[in-house]
């Protein structure tokens, strides 16, 4: 029996899958991960791009209706090996995201949490670029913290 994921999880995984496939075809040596903690939890070399869904904002589509309109705040963290690479990765990512990407409904077989099945179901679009900035982590001696960048986007799934 398959376990199907809900929309929030599918938005996050669709963005991660899209960036992973973009880097695989355009740019070698970039690791993509889900969730910020995985960057430090694994013995992994930079450059790393991390995708996470940080917040969901829900409102009614119209007064009196029970149909909800969700916007998702997705954060893309870049851990680069130099400031030049940090800037290039940030520009590359924004260029790839500006037209949206395929939204997938994800599932996995019960008991198998390593293999995901994907079925295309619409598109995800950026409503707004919320933040695009260098992150200074003062006092950190970790190599991963030296050239960090964060891009925050507000995303909506097409209906």
CATH 3.50.50.60 fits 2-157, yes or no: no
Structure confidence at residue 67 (pLDDT): 82
Structure confidence at residue 76 (pLDDT): 97
Each domain of the chain, given as residue ranges in start order, spans 2-157
| Structure tokens, 154 | 């507000």
pTM for the predicted model, two decimal places: 0.89
Instruction: Name the more confident of 126 and 67.
Output: 126
């Amino acid at each position: 029996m398959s376990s199907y994921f809900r929309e929030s999880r599918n938005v996050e995984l669709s963005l991660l899958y899209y960036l992973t496939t973009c880097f695989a075809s355009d740019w070698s040596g970039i690791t993509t991960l889900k969730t910020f903690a995985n960057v430090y939890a694994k013995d992994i070399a930079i450059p790393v791009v991390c995708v996470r869904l940080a917040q969901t904002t829900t409102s009614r589509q119209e007064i009196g209706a029970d149909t909800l309109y969700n916007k998702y705040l997705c954060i893309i963290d870049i851990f680069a090996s130099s400031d030049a690479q940090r800037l290039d990765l940030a520009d590359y990512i924004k260029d790839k995201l500006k037209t949206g990407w395929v939204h997938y409904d994800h599932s996995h077989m019960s008991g198998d949490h390593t293999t995901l099945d994907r079925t295309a179901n619409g598109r995800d679009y950026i409503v707004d670029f919320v933040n695009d900035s260098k992150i200074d982590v003062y006092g950190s001696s970790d190599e991963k913290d030296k050239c960090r960048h964060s891009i925050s986007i507000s995303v909506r799934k097409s209906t």
